[in-house]
Structures are given as structure tokens and as C-alpha cells.
Amino acid sequence: MLGFNRYRRGFRSLVLVHNRNHYHGAGSMNIPNYLFSEIPNNDEGRELVRLMRKYCNKKRFQIEVYGQHVKDEYRGTGVTRMGQNIEQSKCLRVYARDKIERENKHKRYRDNWANRQVMADELENLAYNIKHNIGFK
């Protein structure tokens, strides 16, 4: 029984590693996905962000703005531990999130989860049949 369980765990871990590597881009490069960075956090920079949001194709994209580089007066106070807010930042970073791609990604994740469950059930049935038909002890 000990040897059989070891093989069953091995099958399961192979399936999980394959799914993680295949659907989460193993081996792909870490490419930044922000659209603009180093936008000064002043009136001109905030106006630029406001105009981006105003003229953005809202059916396809969503504009997200985050703070970048903590201001000198907040250094050492611990505000960067969980990420400082925009008022505590020297610069702004703008991301354009693709709504359609995000929805497709969630759909692929749901499909992958369902396929993984089916594969796990098939492996369980295979393991049961091997155990009872071959006579593993």
C-alpha cells in the first residue's frame, strides 16, 4: 500500500505542476505592465491622469493609478510597509487594464480548475482500478 500511495501522490503533483506552469507562464519574462511611470504628483500630473481617464475607451480599458516613490518627509515612518497612498508619493504610475483580457483570464482559470478536478477524479479511478485489479498491497 505504501508504494501505491507514493505513485498516486506523484501523479497528482505532476498534474498540479503542469497546470501551474502551463497556465501561469513558466519561463516567461517579467515585463512591467504599466503604461506610464514617473509622472510627477503635482497639478500637471494629476491633470494628465484625469484626461487619460476622460478619453479612455471605457468599454475595453480601465485606468488604474498608483503612487510611486515615497516623499522624503514620509521616509522611515513605515508608510511603505503596505504601500503608500497617492498623497504620500512623489510620482504616479498608470496602468491600463484590459477588461476583455481579464475576463478571458478568469474564464481560462475556471475552465482549468474544472479540468483539473476531472483529471484528479480520473486519476483516483485509475488508482482504484490498479489497486483492486492488480492487487497492490
pTM exceeds 0.75: no
Decide: 82 and 67 in contact? Cβ < 8 Å.
no
130 — pLDDT class (breaks 50, 70, 90): confident
Distance between CA atoms of residues 78 and 14, nearest Å: 42
Query: pLDDT tens digits, residue range 21-67?
Result: 455 555 555 677 888 999 999 999 999 999 999 999 999 999 999 99
- pLDDT of 116: 81
Grouping H, G, I as helix, E, B as strand and the rest as coil, residue 109 is helix
Beta strands in 21-88 (DSSP E): 36-40, 61-70
- pLDDT of 43: 96
